[in-house]
Amino acid sequence: MSLEIKKSPAPLKPATISQLKHALKSYSPEELMEFCLRMAQFKKENKELLTYLLFDADDEPAYILLVKQEVDRQFTEINTSSIYFIKKSIRKILRTCQKYIRYSGNKQTEVELLLHFCRQMQQFAGFMENSAALMNIYLRQVNKIEKVLSLLHEDLQYDYDTELTTLHASI
């Protein structure tokens, strides 16, 4: 079975999503599986996304718990000897959190993980008072939570709104 890839619409430019969707319809399931496995070989993020889709997408609460545990672990490893190291570590943790949010694509998961990130960041409240950059990271995430929260069902909005009020009060 060979992977014969049809010519793209423009040389060396990626096709649009609709073009890809249309082209993928003409392939067998075996060929599609080969494409997925080949994509997973080239980039770690592709492999991570495929892992999420195959193993974690069916149990979102367990996925959220795993990500929260990873975030907790990263927060415990922060070097607090300098504000520079704290900022650098928190940015790295946020990138990791955003990556897992992107894999899920679920707004409720996004709110859960960002709330957890902000709660963990409150441990560094003393450093946030002295660092505008840390405070801005925190405030941007709180604003992002508010925006995503407005897209959720009213019952969920109420539940998360009380947690968001707690975050506002601790600033």
Residues 86 and 153 in one domain: yes
Give the closest residue to 67 by CA, choosing from 43, 96, 35, 28: 96
Residues 66 and 136 in one domain: yes
Residues 148 and 109 in one domain: yes
Which residues have C-beta within 8 Å of that of residue 131, sequence separation ≥ 6?
Answer: 83, 86, 87
Total number of residues shown for the chain: 171
| pLDDT for the residue 120 | 95
Which residues have C-beta within 8 Å of that of residue 67, sequence separation ≥ 6?
Answer: 97, 100, 113
On average, the pLDDT of the chain sits at 89
Which residues have C-beta within 8 Å of that of residue 47, sequence separation ≥ 6?
Answer: 40, 41
Residues 38 and 117 in one domain: no
Residues 145 and 65 in one domain: yes
Whether residue 2 lies inside any domain: the answer is no
Residues 141 and 80 in one domain: yes
Residue numbers of the domain that contains 52: 16-57
DSSP 8-state code for residue 122: G
How many domains does the chain fold into?
2
Residues 128 and 51 in one domain: no
Query: For residue 141, with 0-12 CB atoms within 10 Å meaning exposed, 13-18 middle and 19 or more buried, which class applies?
Result: buried
Q: Does the pLDDT of residue 19 top 60, yes or no? A: yes
Whether residue 8 lies inside any domain: the answer is no
Residues 121 and 39 in one domain: no
Residues 104 and 123 in one domain: yes
Q: How many Cβ atoms from other residues are within 10 Å of residue 107's Cβ?
A: 17
| pLDDT for the residue 157 | 86
Against a cut of 0.75, is the pTM above it?
yes
Residues 77 and 144 in one domain: yes
Query: Are the C-beta atoms of residues 48 and 104 closer than 8 Å to each other?
Result: no
Q: Does the pLDDT of residue 128 top 80, yes or no? A: yes
